[in-house]
Structure 1
Amino acid sequence: MALALAIVALVLAAAALAVAVQVLRRTRARADGSDLPGDVVGLRREVAALRAEAGLGFRHLAVVRYDAHADTGGHLSWSLALLDDRGDGVVVSSIHGRSEARTYAKSVATWKSEQQLSPEESEAIGAARA
């Protein structure tokens, strides 16, 4: 009786192994994607294109708040860095005074600006990059 059960178990295990091998042969992924239906390959290309395009959006952001003048308080002045994955974008600063506020924008390319940056603007770019 035990021998009969062992033989049945062995036959079932062999059958399960054969089925598993067949499933693996059908689902084994190839590097070129040739095993996939055409719409899945197209979707992979579209996802890759969207990822590349997303890198051009402003994904690195940072704000630095500070007191621009000794006679003002509350950290009402600020510098905002808006940069993409390559470090291209803009840094915008608003300098708050007692009776007025001025806003400036400076272009940034590869994490640097051709215009002279204030320490706070440099800090904002550094924080955005981190």
Structure 2
Amino acid sequence: MLAVVSLVVALLALVLVAPLWRERLGRRTRDGEAPLPEDVLGLRQEVAALRTEGRQALKHLAIVRYDAFGDMGGHLSWTLAVADDAGDGVLLTSIHGRSDARSYAKTIKHWRCEVQLSPEEEQALGQLRR
């Protein structure tokens, strides 16, 4: 019984909404194209804005783990490289020793770094471009 009532309600809704859609789709511009509803134009603008924002997102990522000192194991030291589509980002390095840890941050511009890099940082930057 519930299924029959649901079907009747759905058909009634379709009968009431169909003329509105027919009217909306029936309008034509001078060149014969149907105009886009305002909500579609708004969605297109949103998509364009998201694409622009996405190009600036830090979405390229590489990480290299290593032993900075010969007497330490476990690959506790690491370099993380992140950049956007233009190659702008940052290299973050953490070097772990027995009694301390040091952290470094280096700026990346157009896939290059102005500061001298360690071999591991060079490796991370090389992996970032792939």
Could you say whether these structures have the same fold, taking a TM-score greater than 0.5 normalized by the shorter chain as the test?
Answer: yes
**Amino acid corresponding to residue 101 of structure 1 in structure 2:** A
Q: Write the letter of the residue equivalent to 1:108.
A: I
How far 1:128 sits from its partner (Å)?
Answer: 2.1
Matched, 1:39 2:45: no
RMSD between aligned residues: 1.9
Q: Distance in 2 between matches of 1:34 and 1:89?
A: 45
Q: Secondary structure at the match of 2:45?
A: helix
CA distance in 2, matches of 1:36, 1:48: 17
Aligned equivalents of 1:117, 1:90: Cα separation in 2: 12
**Which residue is equivalent to 1:84?**
84
C-alpha distance after superposition, 1:28-72 (max 9, x if no partner)? xxxxx9731222122112111111111111101111000111111
Identity rate, percent: 60
Please give the alpha-carbon distance, in whole angstroms, between the structure 2 residues aligned to 1:98 and 1:82.
28
Instruction: State how far apart, in whole Å, the 2-side matches of 1:34 and 1:92 are.
Output: 53
**Which structure: larger Rg?**
1
Q: How does 1:45-84 map to 2 (within 5 A)?
A: 45-84=45-84
Which one-letter code corresponds to 1:100 in the other structure?
Answer: D
Distance 1:41 1:122, change over 3 A: same
SS in 2 for 1:47: helix
**Counterpart residue identity of residue 62, structure 1:** A
Matches of 2:35 and 2:86, distance apart in 1:
35
| Alignment TM-score, normalising by the size of structure 1 | 0.70
2:50 is paired with a residue of what secondary structure? Answer: helix
Q: What SS class does the counterpart of residue 82 from structure 2 fall into? A: strand
Q: Hey, which bits of structure 1, 4+ residues long, moved more than 4 A?
A: none
Q: Which residue of 1 aligns with 2:96?
A: 96
Is the partner of 2:44 in helix, strand or coil?
helix
In the TM superposition, 1:16-31 aligns within 5 A as: none
Q: How many residues are paired up?
A: 100
Name structure 2 gaps, 5 residues minimum.
Answer: 1-25, 27-32
